[in-house]
Amino acid sequence: MELQIALDRMELDEAVRLTERVAGRADRIEVGTSLVKRYGTRAVSEVVAAGGGTPVLADLKTADDLRTEFALAADGGARAVTVLGQAPEETVRRGVEVAAELGLELLVDLLGVSERRRERLLGMLPEWVLLGAHLGKDAQGTGWSVVDLLGDWVRGRRVAVAGGMTEEVVASLSRSGAASRAIVGSAITKAADPVERASRMREVAGRGSS
């Protein structure tokens, strides 16, 4: 299981410094939605420059005007982007086409998506698309875990898991093989030693059933 480190709710200069420190301990670096909204694609390009070749995902959560937003991210050096699973179907379909055209990895964020809508997306999305099981920030601390969002639907699909990710959750996902990628934010970025924590998380993520 891959490790993606999410940078959110911080100043851009802090995000750049963190990227320089932890990029070598991650398979992906994510420029979070709050950074994109505050600083625009400048946040993407500066994190890309600081990442030393580590692929960067721009968490745009695009809901419309997809070609424009994906092109902006690609111009900033991003190698992956996100579209909301709740967006109109035409937008999601266009996301598949445009991401392939631009050579971008596509993550469809299932935040707030109903079971019925998820099943429809499963039927229309190719297997190379990454599906994001996402427990939103506002839902964390309510007794729910992102693991509760998983089920039989993950079989045979590439799934990224995000929201309230602790070392214990990452270890559980790694053992079960339920996810292709763990997206970890505050557990790393707010740690006393982000480098040590990132190294530990990546080690735990990569253990699998062994």
pLDDT value at 209 more than 50: no
- Pull the structure tokens for residue 206: 């990569």
Distance of CA 187 to the CA centre of its chain: 15
3-state helix, strand, coil in the chain (%, to 5): 50, 20, 30
Residue 153 pLDDT grade (very low, low, confident, very high; cuts 50, 70, 90): very high
First vs last Cα of the chain: how many Å apart?
12
Domain count along the chain: 1
Q: What is the pTM of this model?
A: 0.94
pLDDT in tens, 22-39: 999 999 999 999 999 999
Q: Does residue 131 lie within any of the structural domains?
A: yes
Q: Does residue 210 lie within any of the structural domains?
A: no
Residue 210 pLDDT grade (very low, low, confident, very high; cuts 50, 70, 90): very low
pLDDT in tens, 62-82: 999 999 999 999 999 999 999
CATH number at residue 87: 3.20.20.70
Domain range enclosing 167: 2-205
- Pull the structure tokens for residue 76: 């900033």
Q: Does residue 40 lie within any of the structural domains?
A: yes
Residue 86 pLDDT grade (very low, low, confident, very high; cuts 50, 70, 90): very high
* Strand-strand pairing, 105-109 and 56-62: unpaired
DSSP-derived 3-state class of residue 104: coil
Average predicted confidence (pLDDT) for the chain: 95
Distance CA 8, CA 33 (A): 7
Contact predicate 130/95, CB 8 Å: no
Contact predicate 29/52, CB 8 Å: no
pLDDT in tens, 173-188: 999 999 999 999 999 9
Within a 10 A sphere around the Cβ of 25, how many other Cβ atoms? 20
Distance of CA 188 to the CA centre of its chain: 14
Which residue, 1, 25, 104, is CA-closest to 60?
A: 104
Q: In 77-168, where do the E strands start and end?
A: 80-84, 105-109, 130-134, 158-162
